[in-house]
Amino acid sequence: MVEVCLPGTGGMLPLENRWTASCWGEFQGTAILIDCGEGTQIALKKAGCKLSRLELLLITHFHADHIAGLPGLLLTLGNYGKKTPLTIAGPAGLGQVVASLMTIAPNLPYPIVLKELDGETRDFDLFGIHFASMHLQHGIPCLGYRLTLKRKPIFNPDKAKELGVPLHYYKTLHAGQPVVLDNGNRILPYMVLDGERRPISICYCTDTQPIEEISSFAHGADLFVCEGMYGDEAMSEKMQEKGHMIFSDSARLAQRAEVKQLWLTHFSPAMKEPEQYLDAAMSIFEHTAVGYDGIRTTLGP
């Protein structure tokens, strides 16, 4: 199972009551953060996210509201005693941007591993998770991410007991390795497993115009986190020009993508009460939630 949380849901700049948009995911004790605007380190603490578990930071693009908190986060991880590497992945140019920002965060006590996602390295596997990325439409290079968490098949302890498998072999068999018992019997994983479990998919798309490719990229996701700068239909044209969406754009993408649920995020500072546009969005895609700082869910059994 995976825990997902949005520590912040704002666009453009941090506000007193709304941090800049980011997404936190935890899977088997490893945490992943998408984007890190100014103040995200505070937002994470407020949302109860354990910074010490952070192993991977995905950056969507290099606008300040998505990366300005990087130096502060890197230093705070060091103060927390981090020694293991932090991987940072993002669009082409990542190395130069991170190096520039590290002017004020030098000499970290842990290594930084950079992954520029370009050309053939657009997708990668890490921590048992498949990370896919797609180019969004936002004026500057900007990536949407899809995380697919492969899960172990279902283990059936009754079958194991029937075969006389001692407890200490369960983990090995569950991981797909055969074992030989003291009596010489060879036990193969399929003999104690109850079939595959569907992977869990989370898709995160911000900032972008509502391009059709997003609905293929997000198709069938358990959770689709998608930007919506405004709920008001009157802002539609202006947002398109600025490389953004309104709630109805996001809801239509979610509907075509047949996702399980949609969380809206990345609200304009000028939109004080995004919740008032929920009904309109739900009339397009029922399983819509208007995100808020700290919104959290658990996916998968």
Range 104-133, binding a second copy (CB under 8 A)? 104-105
Give the residue, chosen from 8, 11, 25, 69, that forms a contact with a second copy under the rule CB under 8 A: 69
Which residues, in sequence order, are bridge partners of residue 93? none
Instruction: Reply yes or no on whether 65 is catalytic.
Output: yes
Q: Which stretch binds a second copy (CB under 8 A): 11-19, 27-35, 109-117, 156-164?
A: 11-19
Per the residue annotation, which of 35, 65, 222, 293 is the catalytic one?
65
Burial of 17: CB neighbours in 10 Å, binned 0-12, 13-18, 19+: exposed
For a second copy, the closer CB: 13 or 280: 13
> What is the phi/psi pair of residue 126, to 5°?
-160, 140
Decide: residue 256, CB within 10 A, 0-12 exposed, 13-18 middle, 19+ buried.
middle
Which C-beta is closer to a second copy: that of 189 or that of 269?
269
Residue 107 contacts by C-beta under 8 Å, 6 or more apart in sequence? none
Q: How far is the CB of 257 from a second copy (least distance, A)?
A: 31
In the complex, minimum distance from the CB of residue 206 to a second copy, in angstroms, rounded to a whole number: 16
- In angstroms, the CA 89 to CA 9 distance is 21
Query: Pairing state of beta strands 86-91 and 112-117?
Result: parallel
Q: Give whichever of 12 and 262 is closer to a second copy, judged by the CB atom.
A: 12
Query: Per CB under 8 A, which of residues 19..38 are in contact with a second copy?
Result: 37-38
Contact between 242 and a second copy (CB under 8 A)? no
Q: Please, is 51 exposed, middle or buried when counting C-beta atoms within 10 Å of its C-beta (0-12, 13-18, 19+)?
A: middle
Angle at 241 between CA 239 and CA 245, to 5 degrees: 30
Window of 9-17, 187-195, 258-266, 280-288 that interacts with a second copy by CB under 8 A: 9-17
Q: Which residues contact 146 (CB under 8 A, 6 or more apart)?
A: 131, 132, 133, 134, 201, 202, 203, 204, 217, 218, 221
Q: How far apart are CA 93 and CA 91, in angstroms?
A: 6
Number of residues binding to a second copy, judged by CB under 8 A: 31
Look at strands 30-34 and 54-58 and give their pairing: parallel
Binding mask 70-109 for a second copy (x = CB under 8 A): -xx--xx--x----------------xx--xx-xxx----
Report the residue from 28, 45, 185, 233 that binds a second copy according to the rule CB under 8 A: 45
Q: Cβ closer to a second copy: 71 or 144?
A: 71
| Part in contact with a second copy (CB under 8 A); list of ranges 8-16, 131-139, 162-170, 252-260 | 8-16
User: What are the phi and psi torsion angles at 4 (to 5°)?
Assistant: -125, 140
> Catalytic site residues?
65
Footprint of a second copy on this chain (CB under 8 A)?
12-16, 37-39, 41-42, 45-46, 62-65, 67-69, 71-72, 75-76, 79, 96-97, 100-101, 103-105
